[in-house]
Amino acid sequence: MNETKEKRSTGQAKLTPRDFSMAIALVVIWAFFASQQPAFLSSRNLSLLMIELSVTAILALGMLLVLLPGHLDLSAGSGVGLTGGIAAVLVFNAEWPAGVAMAVAFLGGLVIWTLMGLLITKQKIPAFIITLGGLLIFKGAHWLVIKSQTIPVVEGGSTNIYSLLTTYYVPPWAGLILAAAVSAALVASKLRARARRQRYGFEVDDNELTFLKLFLGAQVLFLGVVITNQYQGLPLAAVILGVVVVAVQMLCQHTTFGRYLYAIGGNEEAAIISGVPVQKIVIGAFSMMGVVVALSGLMQTAYAGASTTTVGNLMELDAIAACVIGGTSLKGGRGTVLGVVFGSLIMVSLLNGMTLMAVSPEIKMIARGSALALAVWLDVRLSQK
């Protein structure tokens, strides 16, 4: 029981059958699509896959912050379309500087999601209801903003900071240096965390397992950079994802705010009795979700090349599925950043592979829904143990 409480409060866990099943599922998915479409493993497609992963994983990491205290955000996909559409209209129609337009999108996401957090906590309205209403409101507002037309993010084929979010590639040499720096930081952070846990008498991995994890992590980083360098270089979107991953990991594992998120999701009544400012933490989680939605909206719209009525469709479901596949509990109190990224990779691989195979939209819908249903079923089964 004590071990379970420790895992729930810190988010740390040993390797579980779910972890192995995710790895096996990813290998099977990649092997299947590679056998059907050899282009799936080409450097160009893997580079595009990395961009798609970045957009989905960033939104899923924001969803993680909301799920940890036991809430849910069904408005994220519509918010992606709305924030990206606002910036596109300001750049293309109003001729605002791209940086200013993007800042307005971030501010809008922050304000709107903070207000939703206030309604959820102060007025005691379930997050499901508030965000379901937001889904409809933001979708309608998005269509009004773009007047149900296609609004490009650039004019006359020029480029700006908005369009570069998903079209710029880091030079090969810079990508390798970045991978080396991240690997070194990963090793330092892991060893420091391990020493701290030993100092307080907590269980840690043995030396061989620690080395294996660090070695595999570094290998994955360098392999990703080497593969993308064969196309045009490391996508800027992947760098942005790396920054968001580090930020959310630090927030969840090394701050009081993060520990409170797990505590609230684990047992809200106990958290209140312990003096945890539940309302402030939940509002803060939704505020950060708003910033993440805006970032995802800018990146998704830039990747599409324009704001259309379909941008952001069902992305909230992809984000929820990615979280649950990665081990995040819909009841709150359990979830890891690495698991969310891995779950996002599985979802993106499915969609990317089906696109290469020219699968019809109807089958894509069925596959996405099946993945979500399977993930929730797995979460329920594991929660009963």
Question: pLDDT at residue 245 above 50?
Answer: yes
Amino acid at 123: Q
Confidence label for 53 from pLDDT (cuts 50, 70 and 90)? very high
**Mean pLDDT computed over 104-111:** 97
- The number of distinct structural domains making up the chain is 1
Q: Please say if the pLDDT value at position 254 is more than 90.
A: no
- Residues in contact with 88: Cβ distance below 8 Å, sequence separation at least 6, in sequence order: 101, 146, 151, 152, 153, 162, 301, 306, 307
* Stated pTM of the model: 0.91
Digit-coded pLDDT (tens) for 287-328: 999 999 999 999 999 999 999 999 999 899 999 999 998 889
Does residue 180 lie within any of the structural domains?
Answer: no
User: What are the phi and psi torsion angles at 66 (to 5°)?
Assistant: -85, -35
Q: What is the CATH number of the domain that holds 151?
A: 1.10.3470
Place 263 in a pLDDT band, splitting at 50, 70 and 90. very high
How much is the pLDDT for 8? 39
Does 205 reside within a domain? no
> Rounded CA gap, 332 and 229, in Å?
39
Please name the residue that has the structure tokens 């296609």.
150
Q: What angle do CA 178, 182, 188 make, to 5 degrees?
A: 150
pLDDT tens-digit profile of 4-36?
444 434 444 455 556 567 778 888 899 999 999
Could you tell me if residue 42 is inside a domain?
A: yes
71 found inside a domain: yes
In the prediction, which pLDDT does 140 show? Answer: 97
Q: How far lies 287's CA from each of 15, 121, 279, in Å?
A: 32, 13, 12
Q: What percent of the chain has pLDDT over 70?
A: 92
Higher pLDDT, 133 or 384: 133
Range of the domain at 96: 2-171+233-383
Per the prediction, the chain carries an average pLDDT of: 88
pLDDT at 383: 61
pLDDT of residue 18: 60
The answer to whether 236 and 170 have CB atoms below 8 angstroms apart is: yes
Residue 106 lies in a domain: yes
